[in-house]
Amino acid sequence: MTLSNVFSRTFWAHLLKRLIVACVLAQSIALPAIAESESAFSLQGFGTLGVARTTTDDVEFVRDLSQPRGIGKEWSPLVDSVLGLQGAWRIDPQLEAVLQVTSRYRYDQTFYPEVAWAYLKYDLTPNLSLRAGRLGTEFFMMADSRWVGYSFLAARPPGDYFWYLPFYSIHGADAAISVPLGENTIRAKAFYGHSNGQIPLADEQWEIAGSPMIGGYLEYQMDAWQLRASYANIKFKNDLPISAVMRKLIGRGMTGAEAAFLSARNTRTHYYSLGIVYDQGPWQAQLMLNHIEQGSNALESSDGGYLLAGYRVDQVTPYLGYSWVLSRQHGKPLNALAAYVMEDSHSEQQTTFLGMRWDVAKSIALKAQWDLVRGDSTSIFPYRQDHRETWNGKMDVFTLTMDFIF
Amino acid sequence: MKLRHLFLVFALSWLVLQPAAEVRAELVVVVNARCGVAAMTRNEVVNVFFGRNRQFFNGIEAQPVDMPDAHPDRARFYSGLVGKDISEVNAYWSRQVFSGRMQPPPKASTTEDVLKWVISHPGGIGFIDLSKADARVRVVYELTP
Protein backbone atom coordinates (compact mmCIF):
# COMPACT_ATOMS: atom_id res chain seq x y z
CA MET A 1 0.00 0.00 0.00
CA THR A 2 1.38 3.39 -0.95
CA LEU A 3 1.18 6.64 0.92
CA SER A 4 -1.22 8.08 -1.58
CA ASN A 5 -3.56 5.20 -0.80
CA VAL A 6 -3.31 5.74 2.93
CA PHE A 7 -4.05 9.39 2.51
CA SER A 8 -6.66 8.87 -0.16
CA ARG A 9 -9.35 11.49 -0.44
CA THR A 10 -12.18 9.11 0.27
CA PHE A 11 -10.57 7.94 3.47
CA TRP A 12 -10.12 11.43 4.84
CA ALA A 13 -13.51 12.54 3.59
CA HIS A 14 -14.96 9.60 5.45
CA LEU A 15 -13.05 10.42 8.62
CA LEU A 16 -13.89 14.10 8.40
CA LYS A 17 -17.57 13.30 7.98
CA ARG A 18 -17.47 11.13 11.08
CA LEU A 19 -15.68 13.83 12.99
CA ILE A 20 -18.16 16.52 12.00
CA VAL A 21 -21.07 14.33 12.98
CA ALA A 22 -19.37 13.64 16.31
CA CYS A 23 -18.71 17.33 16.93
CA VAL A 24 -22.27 18.30 16.12
CA LEU A 25 -23.44 15.58 18.48
CA ALA A 26 -21.06 16.84 21.13
CA GLN A 27 -22.37 20.37 20.74
CA SER A 28 -25.91 19.23 21.20
CA ILE A 29 -25.11 16.92 24.12
CA ALA A 30 -22.41 18.72 26.07
CA LEU A 31 -23.91 21.50 28.11
CA PRO A 32 -22.07 24.71 28.87
CA ALA A 33 -19.58 24.43 31.69
CA ILE A 34 -21.82 25.37 34.56
CA ALA A 35 -20.99 23.42 37.68
CA GLU A 36 -24.58 22.69 38.57
CA SER A 37 -25.35 20.91 35.34
CA GLU A 38 -22.99 17.93 35.54
CA SER A 39 -23.86 16.68 32.10
CA ALA A 40 -24.06 12.93 31.75
CA PHE A 41 -22.40 12.85 28.31
CA SER A 42 -19.07 14.24 27.31
CA LEU A 43 -17.22 14.05 24.05
CA GLN A 44 -13.55 14.94 23.87
CA GLY A 45 -10.79 14.41 21.39
CA PHE A 46 -7.08 14.59 20.78
CA GLY A 47 -4.84 14.53 17.78
CA THR A 48 -1.45 15.10 16.27
CA LEU A 49 -0.53 16.28 12.82
CA GLY A 50 3.11 15.48 12.46
CA VAL A 51 5.77 15.14 9.81
CA ALA A 52 9.16 13.57 10.20
CA ARG A 53 12.14 12.48 8.14
CA THR A 54 15.45 10.77 8.75
CA THR A 55 18.88 11.04 7.16
CA THR A 56 19.01 7.51 5.74
CA ASP A 57 17.14 5.15 3.45
CA ASP A 58 18.99 2.10 4.81
CA VAL A 59 16.25 1.47 7.38
CA GLU A 60 12.73 2.76 7.91
CA PHE A 61 12.12 4.59 11.18
CA VAL A 62 8.95 3.69 13.14
CA ARG A 63 7.37 4.98 16.33
CA ASP A 64 6.98 1.47 17.73
CA LEU A 65 6.71 -2.13 16.54
CA SER A 66 2.98 -1.78 15.85
CA GLN A 67 3.87 0.05 12.62
CA PRO A 68 4.59 -2.19 9.61
CA ARG A 69 6.43 0.39 7.52
CA GLY A 70 8.35 3.51 8.49
CA ILE A 71 9.90 6.61 7.07
CA GLY A 72 13.16 7.53 5.37
CA LYS A 73 14.67 10.64 3.90
CA GLU A 74 11.36 12.01 2.63
CA TRP A 75 9.15 14.09 4.94
CA SER A 76 6.20 11.91 5.92
CA PRO A 77 3.13 12.20 8.15
CA LEU A 78 3.02 8.41 8.60
CA VAL A 79 4.50 7.66 12.02
CA ASP A 80 3.19 10.43 14.28
CA SER A 81 -0.23 11.49 13.00
CA VAL A 82 -3.27 10.43 14.97
CA LEU A 83 -6.85 11.42 15.68
CA GLY A 84 -8.78 10.20 18.71
CA LEU A 85 -12.32 10.71 19.93
CA GLN A 86 -13.56 9.75 23.35
CA GLY A 87 -17.13 9.66 24.54
CA ALA A 88 -18.00 9.19 28.20
CA TRP A 89 -21.40 8.55 29.69
CA ARG A 90 -21.83 8.98 33.44
CA ILE A 91 -24.62 6.52 34.15
CA ASP A 92 -24.71 7.33 37.85
CA PRO A 93 -22.24 8.99 40.25
CA GLN A 94 -20.26 5.74 40.61
CA LEU A 95 -20.63 4.24 37.14
CA GLU A 96 -19.16 5.52 33.89
CA ALA A 97 -19.02 4.08 30.36
CA VAL A 98 -16.16 5.16 28.10
CA LEU A 99 -15.50 4.59 24.39
CA GLN A 100 -12.39 5.78 22.59
CA VAL A 101 -11.90 5.51 18.85
CA THR A 102 -8.53 6.30 17.29
CA SER A 103 -7.22 6.50 13.77
CA ARG A 104 -3.48 6.06 13.30
CA TYR A 105 -1.13 4.17 11.04
CA ARG A 106 -1.53 0.57 12.16
CA TYR A 107 -0.47 -3.03 11.55
CA ASP A 108 -2.34 -3.44 8.24
CA GLN A 109 -0.84 -0.26 6.72
CA THR A 110 -4.07 1.72 6.93
CA PHE A 111 -5.43 4.49 9.14
CA TYR A 112 -8.64 2.56 9.62
CA PRO A 113 -10.29 3.80 12.86
CA GLU A 114 -10.40 1.28 15.67
CA VAL A 115 -11.90 1.07 19.13
CA ALA A 116 -8.95 1.77 21.44
CA TRP A 117 -10.91 1.40 24.67
CA ALA A 118 -14.48 0.48 25.54
CA TYR A 119 -15.13 -0.14 29.21
CA LEU A 120 -17.26 0.38 32.28
CA LYS A 121 -15.67 2.07 35.28
CA TYR A 122 -17.14 1.65 38.72
CA ASP A 123 -15.96 3.69 41.71
CA LEU A 124 -16.37 1.45 44.72
CA THR A 125 -15.16 4.31 46.93
CA PRO A 126 -13.80 7.70 45.80
CA ASN A 127 -10.30 6.20 45.97
CA LEU A 128 -10.95 2.70 44.62
CA SER A 129 -12.12 2.07 41.08
CA LEU A 130 -12.72 -1.04 38.99
CA ARG A 131 -12.81 -1.22 35.20
CA ALA A 132 -13.85 -3.97 32.84
CA GLY A 133 -13.95 -4.20 29.05
CA ARG A 134 -11.33 -3.25 26.48
CA LEU A 135 -8.71 -1.38 28.49
CA GLY A 136 -5.46 0.43 27.85
CA THR A 137 -2.43 -1.30 29.32
CA GLU A 138 0.19 0.46 31.36
CA PHE A 139 3.11 -1.92 30.91
CA PHE A 140 5.36 1.11 31.43
CA MET A 141 4.60 4.49 32.98
CA MET A 142 2.61 6.67 30.56
CA ALA A 143 2.25 3.79 28.09
CA ASP A 144 -1.53 4.22 27.99
CA SER A 145 -1.32 7.87 26.87
CA ARG A 146 1.46 7.36 24.31
CA TRP A 147 -0.65 8.76 21.49
CA VAL A 148 -1.89 11.85 23.31
CA GLY A 149 0.91 14.14 22.17
CA TYR A 150 -0.59 17.14 23.92
CA SER A 151 -0.17 15.40 27.27
CA PHE A 152 3.62 15.06 27.12
CA LEU A 153 6.67 17.19 26.53
CA ALA A 154 8.64 15.54 23.72
CA ALA A 155 7.45 15.13 20.14
CA ARG A 156 7.03 11.38 20.64
CA PRO A 157 7.70 8.92 23.47
CA PRO A 158 11.40 7.96 23.37
CA GLY A 159 11.71 5.06 20.95
CA ASP A 160 14.56 3.26 22.68
CA TYR A 161 12.17 2.81 25.59
CA PHE A 162 8.83 2.21 23.87
CA TRP A 163 9.66 0.37 20.60
CA TYR A 164 9.33 -2.98 22.30
CA LEU A 165 5.80 -2.22 23.43
CA PRO A 166 3.36 -2.77 20.59
CA PHE A 167 0.59 -3.81 23.00
CA TYR A 168 -2.10 -1.25 23.53
CA SER A 169 -5.14 -2.93 25.02
CA ILE A 170 -6.52 -5.99 26.74
CA HIS A 171 -9.93 -7.52 27.11
CA GLY A 172 -10.11 -7.82 30.84
CA ALA A 173 -10.36 -5.94 34.09
CA ASP A 174 -8.30 -3.75 36.36
CA ALA A 175 -8.47 -2.24 39.83
CA ALA A 176 -6.81 1.00 40.95
CA ILE A 177 -6.52 2.24 44.49
CA SER A 178 -5.23 5.48 46.02
CA VAL A 179 -4.22 5.55 49.67
CA PRO A 180 -3.45 8.94 51.21
CA LEU A 181 -0.49 8.70 53.58
CA GLY A 182 -0.32 12.00 55.37
CA GLU A 183 0.49 14.49 52.66
CA ASN A 184 1.70 11.81 50.27
CA THR A 185 -0.18 9.24 48.26
CA ILE A 186 0.39 5.59 47.49
CA ARG A 187 -1.28 4.28 44.37
CA ALA A 188 -1.52 0.76 43.09
CA LYS A 189 -3.07 -0.89 40.08
CA ALA A 190 -3.46 -4.46 38.95
CA PHE A 191 -4.78 -5.76 35.65
CA TYR A 192 -5.51 -9.04 33.97
CA GLY A 193 -6.84 -9.78 30.53
CA HIS A 194 -6.31 -11.15 27.09
CA SER A 195 -4.29 -9.23 24.60
CA ASN A 196 -5.94 -7.89 21.53
CA GLY A 197 -4.28 -7.18 18.21
CA GLN A 198 -1.57 -8.06 15.74
CA ILE A 199 2.09 -7.18 15.48
CA PRO A 200 3.47 -6.79 11.96
CA LEU A 201 6.54 -8.77 10.95
CA ALA A 202 7.75 -8.12 7.42
CA ASP A 203 4.58 -8.63 5.36
CA GLU A 204 3.08 -11.05 7.89
CA GLN A 205 1.17 -10.52 11.13
CA TRP A 206 1.91 -11.98 14.52
CA GLU A 207 -1.45 -12.73 16.04
CA ILE A 208 -1.26 -11.83 19.73
CA ALA A 209 -5.01 -11.77 20.35
CA GLY A 210 -5.95 -14.13 23.15
CA SER A 211 -2.52 -14.07 24.79
CA PRO A 212 -3.03 -13.61 28.53
CA MET A 213 -1.44 -10.57 30.17
CA ILE A 214 -1.15 -9.75 33.82
CA GLY A 215 0.53 -6.87 35.57
CA GLY A 216 0.44 -3.99 37.96
CA TYR A 217 2.33 -1.16 39.55
CA LEU A 218 3.02 0.50 42.86
CA GLU A 219 3.48 4.24 42.95
CA TYR A 220 4.48 6.75 45.58
CA GLN A 221 3.65 10.42 45.13
CA MET A 222 5.53 12.85 47.35
CA ASP A 223 4.91 16.50 46.58
CA ALA A 224 6.44 17.05 43.13
CA TRP A 225 8.06 13.60 43.03
CA GLN A 226 6.49 10.47 41.64
CA LEU A 227 8.13 7.07 41.92
CA ARG A 228 6.78 3.97 40.25
CA ALA A 229 7.77 0.34 39.97
CA SER A 230 5.81 -1.86 37.60
CA TYR A 231 5.74 -5.40 36.37
CA ALA A 232 3.78 -7.18 33.65
CA ASN A 233 3.99 -10.34 31.65
CA ILE A 234 2.41 -11.80 28.54
CA LYS A 235 2.20 -15.45 27.55
CA PHE A 236 2.13 -15.69 23.79
CA LYS A 237 -0.57 -17.84 22.31
CA ASN A 238 0.95 -18.07 18.84
CA ASP A 239 4.29 -18.46 17.15
CA LEU A 240 5.93 -15.63 15.26
CA PRO A 241 5.20 -15.89 11.52
CA ILE A 242 8.87 -16.63 10.84
CA SER A 243 8.25 -19.58 8.56
CA ALA A 244 6.11 -17.52 6.18
CA VAL A 245 8.64 -14.69 6.18
CA MET A 246 11.52 -17.11 5.47
CA ARG A 247 9.64 -18.79 2.64
CA LYS A 248 9.45 -15.43 0.86
CA LEU A 249 13.00 -14.45 1.80
CA ILE A 250 15.00 -17.61 1.09
CA GLY A 251 12.47 -19.85 -0.60
CA ARG A 252 12.04 -22.42 2.17
CA GLY A 253 10.16 -22.65 5.42
CA MET A 254 11.65 -23.79 8.69
CA THR A 255 12.53 -27.35 9.64
CA GLY A 256 10.89 -28.86 12.70
CA ALA A 257 14.02 -28.33 14.77
CA GLU A 258 14.31 -24.70 13.70
CA ALA A 259 10.64 -24.06 14.42
CA ALA A 260 10.96 -25.61 17.85
CA PHE A 261 14.09 -23.62 18.63
CA LEU A 262 12.50 -20.30 17.61
CA SER A 263 9.04 -21.04 18.96
CA ALA A 264 7.25 -18.27 20.86
CA ARG A 265 4.07 -20.17 21.58
CA ASN A 266 3.47 -20.63 25.28
CA THR A 267 6.56 -18.65 26.18
CA ARG A 268 6.25 -15.83 28.67
CA THR A 269 7.84 -12.40 28.34
CA HIS A 270 8.39 -10.31 31.48
CA TYR A 271 8.46 -6.51 31.63
CA TYR A 272 10.02 -4.70 34.58
CA SER A 273 10.21 -0.94 34.87
CA LEU A 274 11.11 1.82 37.23
CA GLY A 275 10.16 5.48 36.79
CA ILE A 276 10.94 8.71 38.60
CA VAL A 277 9.18 11.93 37.64
CA TYR A 278 9.75 15.42 38.97
CA ASP A 279 7.22 18.06 38.02
CA GLN A 280 7.01 21.45 39.67
CA GLY A 281 7.13 25.06 38.60
CA PRO A 282 8.93 25.45 35.28
CA TRP A 283 10.82 22.14 35.66
CA GLN A 284 9.84 18.71 34.32
CA ALA A 285 12.17 15.75 34.52
CA GLN A 286 11.78 12.00 33.99
CA LEU A 287 14.04 9.03 34.43
CA MET A 288 12.72 5.65 33.25
CA LEU A 289 14.40 2.26 33.23
CA ASN A 290 13.13 -1.04 31.88
CA HIS A 291 14.19 -4.61 31.54
CA ILE A 292 12.44 -7.02 29.18
CA GLU A 293 13.04 -10.73 29.62
CA GLN A 294 11.94 -12.59 26.50
CA GLY A 295 10.84 -16.18 26.78
CA SER A 296 11.54 -17.16 23.17
CA ASN A 297 14.93 -17.70 21.54
CA ALA A 298 13.66 -15.70 18.57
CA LEU A 299 13.63 -12.46 20.53
CA GLU A 300 16.53 -10.95 22.44
CA SER A 301 16.03 -9.70 26.00
CA SER A 302 16.78 -6.02 26.48
CA ASP A 303 17.51 -3.16 28.85
CA GLY A 304 16.45 0.38 28.03
CA GLY A 305 15.92 3.73 29.59
CA TYR A 306 15.68 7.44 29.13
CA LEU A 307 16.34 10.70 30.85
CA LEU A 308 14.37 13.80 29.86
CA ALA A 309 14.36 17.31 31.30
CA GLY A 310 12.58 20.48 30.25
CA TYR A 311 12.35 24.02 31.55
CA ARG A 312 9.41 26.25 30.66
CA VAL A 313 10.02 29.89 29.80
CA ASP A 314 6.64 31.53 29.38
CA GLN A 315 4.89 29.42 26.71
CA VAL A 316 8.00 27.73 25.35
CA THR A 317 9.63 24.67 26.90
CA PRO A 318 12.99 23.60 25.50
CA TYR A 319 13.95 20.04 26.44
CA LEU A 320 16.87 17.68 26.26
CA GLY A 321 16.79 13.90 26.46
CA TYR A 322 18.96 10.83 26.24
CA SER A 323 17.71 7.28 25.69
CA TRP A 324 19.33 3.93 25.17
CA VAL A 325 18.57 0.27 24.50
CA LEU A 326 20.81 -2.77 24.51
CA SER A 327 19.71 -6.34 23.84
CA ARG A 328 21.49 -9.65 24.14
CA GLN A 329 21.08 -13.15 22.76
CA HIS A 330 19.69 -15.97 24.89
CA GLY A 331 22.03 -18.69 23.88
CA LYS A 332 23.86 -20.22 20.95
CA PRO A 333 21.85 -20.18 17.72
CA LEU A 334 20.93 -23.60 16.35
CA ASN A 335 22.20 -22.88 12.83
CA ALA A 336 22.63 -20.10 10.27
CA LEU A 337 18.89 -19.57 9.76
CA ALA A 338 18.24 -19.35 13.49
CA ALA A 339 21.17 -16.95 13.84
CA TYR A 340 19.70 -14.76 11.10
CA VAL A 341 16.34 -14.62 12.85
CA MET A 342 17.90 -13.92 16.24
CA GLU A 343 20.05 -11.11 14.83
CA ASP A 344 16.88 -9.56 13.52
CA SER A 345 15.81 -8.75 17.08
CA HIS A 346 19.06 -7.07 18.11
CA SER A 347 19.16 -3.48 19.27
CA GLU A 348 22.17 -1.57 20.50
CA GLN A 349 21.94 2.20 20.31
CA GLN A 350 21.74 5.52 22.15
CA THR A 351 19.76 8.56 21.15
CA THR A 352 20.27 12.17 22.15
CA PHE A 353 17.20 14.25 21.43
CA LEU A 354 16.54 17.90 21.81
CA GLY A 355 13.51 19.94 21.02
CA MET A 356 11.04 22.58 21.95
CA ARG A 357 7.38 22.60 22.87
CA TRP A 358 5.50 25.83 22.20
CA ASP A 359 2.02 26.17 23.67
CA VAL A 360 0.97 28.49 20.93
CA ALA A 361 -2.76 28.73 21.75
CA LYS A 362 -5.29 27.20 24.10
CA SER A 363 -5.18 23.42 23.64
CA ILE A 364 -2.61 23.53 20.83
CA ALA A 365 1.09 22.79 21.12
CA LEU A 366 3.72 22.96 18.38
CA LYS A 367 6.85 20.87 18.74
CA ALA A 368 10.11 20.56 16.89
CA GLN A 369 12.58 17.81 17.71
CA TRP A 370 15.95 16.58 16.55
CA ASP A 371 16.99 13.00 17.38
CA LEU A 372 20.58 11.87 16.99
CA VAL A 373 20.51 8.09 16.88
CA ARG A 374 23.96 6.64 17.40
CA GLY A 375 24.11 2.88 17.38
CA ASP A 376 25.84 -0.21 16.18
CA SER A 377 25.28 -1.42 12.64
CA THR A 378 23.77 -4.59 14.15
CA SER A 379 20.98 -2.52 15.72
CA ILE A 380 18.09 -3.36 13.41
CA PHE A 381 15.20 -4.51 15.61
CA PRO A 382 13.70 -1.03 16.03
CA TYR A 383 13.43 -0.53 12.27
CA ARG A 384 11.64 -1.80 9.19
CA GLN A 385 12.96 -2.77 5.75
CA ASP A 386 16.58 -2.86 6.86
CA HIS A 387 19.46 -3.11 4.40
CA ARG A 388 21.93 -4.84 6.67
CA GLU A 389 24.85 -4.42 4.24
CA THR A 390 24.77 -0.63 4.19
CA TRP A 391 23.13 0.36 7.50
CA ASN A 392 25.76 1.82 9.82
CA GLY A 393 23.58 2.34 12.89
CA LYS A 394 23.62 6.12 12.76
CA MET A 395 20.94 8.54 11.69
CA ASP A 396 19.21 11.76 12.63
CA VAL A 397 15.44 12.19 12.82
CA PHE A 398 13.73 15.55 12.34
CA THR A 399 10.18 15.95 13.61
CA LEU A 400 7.57 18.71 13.51
CA THR A 401 4.21 18.19 15.19
CA MET A 402 1.06 20.02 16.09
CA ASP A 403 -0.72 18.43 19.04
CA PHE A 404 -4.22 19.42 20.02
CA ILE A 405 -7.10 18.48 22.29
CA PHE A 406 -10.74 19.45 21.99
CA MET B 1 1.04 60.76 12.96
CA LYS B 2 -1.38 57.84 13.10
CA LEU B 3 1.24 55.64 14.74
CA ARG B 4 1.74 58.18 17.48
CA HIS B 5 -1.99 58.26 18.14
CA LEU B 6 -2.04 54.53 18.42
CA PHE B 7 0.88 54.63 20.81
CA LEU B 8 -0.92 57.21 22.95
CA VAL B 9 -4.04 55.08 23.11
CA PHE B 10 -1.99 52.08 24.22
CA ALA B 11 -0.09 54.07 26.81
CA LEU B 12 -3.29 55.54 28.21
CA SER B 13 -5.12 52.24 28.39
CA TRP B 14 -2.09 50.70 30.07
CA LEU B 15 -2.19 53.47 32.71
CA VAL B 16 -5.91 52.95 33.21
CA LEU B 17 -5.61 49.18 33.54
CA GLN B 18 -2.55 49.23 35.73
CA PRO B 19 -4.26 50.02 39.10
CA ALA B 20 -6.82 47.28 38.51
CA ALA B 21 -4.06 44.70 38.40
CA GLU B 22 -2.56 46.01 41.62
CA VAL B 23 -5.67 45.54 43.76
CA ARG B 24 -6.05 41.82 42.99
CA ALA B 25 -7.30 40.24 46.16
CA GLU B 26 -5.89 37.15 47.78
CA LEU B 27 -7.01 33.75 46.49
CA VAL B 28 -8.13 31.21 49.08
CA VAL B 29 -9.37 27.63 49.04
CA VAL B 30 -12.77 27.14 50.66
CA VAL B 31 -14.76 24.07 51.68
CA ASN B 32 -18.32 23.57 52.76
CA ALA B 33 -18.51 24.92 56.34
CA ARG B 34 -20.12 21.68 57.53
CA CYS B 35 -17.65 19.21 56.07
CA GLY B 36 -15.43 19.14 59.17
CA VAL B 37 -12.17 20.17 57.52
CA ALA B 38 -10.52 23.07 59.36
CA ALA B 39 -7.28 23.60 57.48
CA MET B 40 -5.29 22.01 54.68
CA THR B 41 -1.66 22.02 53.68
CA ARG B 42 -0.49 22.93 50.19
CA ASN B 43 0.15 19.28 49.35
CA GLU B 44 -3.34 18.25 50.47
CA VAL B 45 -4.86 20.94 48.27
CA VAL B 46 -2.69 19.83 45.33
CA ASN B 47 -3.72 16.19 45.87
CA VAL B 48 -7.42 17.06 45.79
CA PHE B 49 -7.31 19.40 42.77
CA PHE B 50 -5.16 16.99 40.74
CA GLY B 51 -7.40 14.03 41.56
CA ARG B 52 -4.68 12.14 43.46
CA ASN B 53 -6.84 11.92 46.54
CA ARG B 54 -10.61 12.10 46.44
CA GLN B 55 -11.33 11.86 50.15
CA PHE B 56 -10.86 14.20 53.11
CA PHE B 57 -9.27 12.83 56.30
CA ASN B 58 -12.73 12.12 57.73
CA GLY B 59 -13.82 10.01 54.78
CA ILE B 60 -16.06 12.57 53.12
CA GLU B 61 -15.65 12.56 49.35
CA ALA B 62 -13.79 15.63 48.13
CA GLN B 63 -15.73 17.31 45.32
CA PRO B 64 -13.45 19.94 43.81
CA VAL B 65 -14.74 22.55 41.39
CA ASP B 66 -12.44 24.24 38.89
CA MET B 67 -12.87 27.32 36.69
CA PRO B 68 -12.58 27.75 32.91
CA ASP B 69 -9.34 28.94 31.28
CA ALA B 70 -11.00 32.26 30.46
CA HIS B 71 -11.37 33.15 34.15
CA PRO B 72 -8.21 34.90 35.44
CA ASP B 73 -8.46 33.16 38.83
CA ARG B 74 -7.66 29.79 37.23
CA ALA B 75 -4.23 30.87 36.02
CA ARG B 76 -3.53 32.59 39.36
CA PHE B 77 -4.58 29.53 41.33
CA TYR B 78 -2.38 27.01 39.54
CA SER B 79 0.61 29.30 39.22
CA GLY B 80 0.34 30.10 42.94
CA LEU B 81 -0.21 26.50 43.97
CA VAL B 82 2.28 24.55 41.85
CA GLY B 83 3.95 27.15 39.64
CA LYS B 84 2.30 25.63 36.57
CA ASP B 85 0.91 27.32 33.52
CA ILE B 86 -2.69 26.54 32.48
CA SER B 87 -1.47 24.67 29.40
CA GLU B 88 0.49 22.31 31.67
CA VAL B 89 -2.53 21.72 33.88
CA ASN B 90 -4.60 20.98 30.76
CA ALA B 91 -1.90 18.64 29.48
CA TYR B 92 -2.01 16.78 32.81
CA TRP B 93 -5.78 16.35 32.55
CA SER B 94 -5.59 15.23 28.93
CA ARG B 95 -3.33 12.40 30.11
CA GLN B 96 -5.80 11.40 32.82
CA VAL B 97 -8.85 11.61 30.57
CA PHE B 98 -7.53 9.86 27.46
CA SER B 99 -5.84 7.08 29.40
CA GLY B 100 -9.20 6.48 31.06
CA ARG B 101 -8.01 7.17 34.60
CA MET B 102 -10.39 9.97 35.54
CA GLN B 103 -12.32 13.02 34.47
CA PRO B 104 -11.28 16.52 35.57
CA PRO B 105 -13.38 18.41 38.13
CA PRO B 106 -16.38 20.29 36.72
CA LYS B 107 -15.88 23.98 35.98
CA ALA B 108 -17.84 26.91 37.36
CA SER B 109 -17.69 30.03 35.22
CA THR B 110 -18.02 32.61 38.01
CA THR B 111 -17.00 32.94 41.66
CA GLU B 112 -20.71 32.90 42.57
CA ASP B 113 -21.07 29.53 40.83
CA VAL B 114 -18.03 28.23 42.74
CA LEU B 115 -19.68 29.26 46.01
CA LYS B 116 -22.96 27.67 44.97
CA TRP B 117 -21.14 24.40 44.20
CA VAL B 118 -19.24 24.37 47.50
CA ILE B 119 -22.38 25.09 49.52
CA SER B 120 -24.53 22.53 47.72
CA HIS B 121 -22.01 19.63 47.95
CA PRO B 122 -21.02 18.18 51.34
CA GLY B 123 -17.40 17.74 50.18
CA GLY B 124 -17.39 20.80 47.93
CA ILE B 125 -14.04 22.58 47.59
CA GLY B 126 -13.08 25.51 45.36
CA PHE B 127 -10.94 28.62 45.08
CA ILE B 128 -12.26 32.20 45.39
CA ASP B 129 -11.17 35.70 46.37
CA LEU B 130 -10.88 36.01 50.14
CA SER B 131 -13.31 38.94 50.05
CA LYS B 132 -16.06 36.65 48.63
CA ALA B 133 -15.85 34.09 51.44
CA ASP B 134 -18.84 34.10 53.81
CA ALA B 135 -20.14 32.08 56.78
CA ARG B 136 -21.37 29.21 54.60
CA VAL B 137 -17.82 28.27 53.64
CA ARG B 138 -14.62 27.80 55.55
CA VAL B 139 -11.23 29.05 54.36
CA VAL B 140 -8.85 26.09 54.64
CA TYR B 141 -5.85 27.34 52.68
CA GLU B 142 -4.49 30.74 51.65
CA LEU B 143 -2.34 31.04 48.57
CA THR B 144 0.76 33.07 49.19
CA PRO B 145 0.92 35.53 46.33
C-alpha distance from B135 to closest chain A C-alpha (Å): 21
pTM score: 0.87
C-alpha distance from B11 to closest chain A C-alpha (Å): 24
Task: Identify the pLDDT of residue A23.
Answer: 44
Q: What is the 3-state secondary structure (H, E, C) of chain A?
A: CCHHHHCCHHHHHHHHHHHHHHHHHHHHHCCCCCCCCCCCEEEEEEEEEEEEEECCCCCEECCCCCCCCCECCCCECCCCCEEEEEEEEEEECCEEEEEEEEEECCCCCCCCCEEEEEEEEEEEECCEEEEEEEEECCCCCCHHHCCCHHHCCCCCCCHHHHCCCCCCEEEEEEEEEEEEECCEEEEEEEEEEEECCEEEECCEEEECCCCEEEEEEEEEEECCEEEEEEEEEEECCCCCCHHHHHHHHHCCCCCHHHHHHCCCCCCEEEEEEEEEEEEECCEEEEEEEEEEECCCCCCCEEEEEEEEEEECECCEEEEEEEEEEEEECCCCCCCHHHHHHHHCCCCEEEEEEEEEEEEEECCEEEEEEEEEEEECCCCCCCEECCCCCCCCCEEEEEEEEEEEEC
Angstrom distance (rounded) from CA A123 to CA A91: 12
What range defines the domain where residue B107 resides?
A: 24-142
Does A86 touch chain B if contact means CB atoms closer than 8 Å? yes
Task: Identify the pLDDT of residue A166.
Answer: 84
Does A140 touch chain B if contact means CB atoms closer than 8 Å? no
Angstrom distance (rounded) from CA A125 to CA A120: 15
pLDDT tens, residue order, chain A (406 aa):
344 444 444 544 454 455 445 444 444 444 444 444 457 899 999 999 999 999 999 999 999 999 999 999 999 999 999 999 999 999 999 999 999 999 999 999 999 999 999 999 999 999 999 999 999 988 888 889 999 999 999 999 999 999 888 888 999 999 999 999 989 999 999 999 999 888 998 888 999 999 999 999 999 999 999 999 999 999 999 999 998 888 888 888 899 999 999 999 999 999 999 999 999 999 999 999 999 999 999 999 999 999 999 999 999 999 999 999 999 988 889 999 999 999 999 999 999 999 999 999 999 999 999 999 999 999 998 899 889 899 999 999 999 999 999 9
Cβ atoms of residues A97 and A52 within 8 Å: no
Q: Which residue of A has its CA nearest to B91?
A: A151
Does A177 touch chain B if contact means CB atoms closer than 8 Å? no
A183 vs B41: CB contact, 8 Å cut-off? Answer: yes
Nearest to A378, CA basis, from A335, A327, A331, A311: A327
Nearest to A149, CA basis, from A81, A85, A103, A226: A81
Low-confidence residues of chain B, pLDDT below 50? 1, 12, 15-22
Cβ atoms of residues A222 and A267 within 8 Å: no
- In this structure, is residue B43 part of a structural domain? yes
Residues of A in Cβ contact (< 8 Å) with B83: 280-282
Cβ atoms of residues B60 and B68 within 8 Å: no
Does B87 touch chain A if contact means CB atoms closer than 8 Å? yes
Indicate the residue of A33, A136, A221 with minimum beta-carbon distance to B100.
A136
C-alpha distance from A52 to closest chain B C-alpha (Å): 23
Residues of B in Cβ contact (< 8 Å) with A365: 87, 91
- In this structure, is residue B109 part of a structural domain? yes
Residues of A in Cβ contact (< 8 Å) with B53: 127, 178, 180, 185
B55 vs A125: CB contact, 8 Å cut-off? Answer: yes
Residue B145: CB atoms within 10 A of its CB come to 9
C-alpha distance from B2 to closest chain A C-alpha (Å): 30
Q: How far is CA B128 from CA A26, B71, B125, in A?
A: 30, 11, 10
Does B58 touch chain A if contact means CB atoms closer than 8 Å? no
B113 vs A127: CB contact, 8 Å cut-off? Answer: no
- In this structure, is residue B4 part of a structural domain? no
Identity of the residue numbered A62:
V
C-alpha distance from B6 to closest chain A C-alpha (Å): 26
C-alpha distance from A88 to closest chain B C-alpha (Å): 9
Identity of the residue numbered B56:
F
- In this structure, is residue B18 part of a structural domain? no
Angstrom distance (rounded) from CA B109 to CA A32: 9
- In this structure, is residue B15 part of a structural domain? no
Interface test with A, best of B98, B120, B121 (most A CBs within 10 A): B98
What CATH code is carried by the domain that includes residue B125? 3.40.190.10
Task: Identify the pLDDT of residue B34.
Answer: 94
- In this structure, is residue B6 part of a structural domain? no
Number of domains in chain B: 1
Angstrom distance (rounded) from CA A217 to CA A192: 12
| Domains with residue ranges and CATH for chain A | 3-405 (2.40.160.10)
- In this structure, is residue B118 part of a structural domain? yes
A152 vs B90: CB contact, 8 Å cut-off? Answer: no
Cβ atoms of residues A34 and B109 within 8 Å: yes
Residues of B in Cβ contact (< 8 Å) with A183: 41, 43-44, 47
Q: Indicate the helix (H) or strand (E) that contains B30.
A: strand B27-32
- In this structure, is residue B123 part of a structural domain? yes
Among residues 16-45 of chain B, which lie with CB inside 8 Å of chain A? 41, 43-44
Residues of B in Cβ contact (< 8 Å) with A131: 100
Angstrom distance (rounded) from CA A374 to CA A395: 7
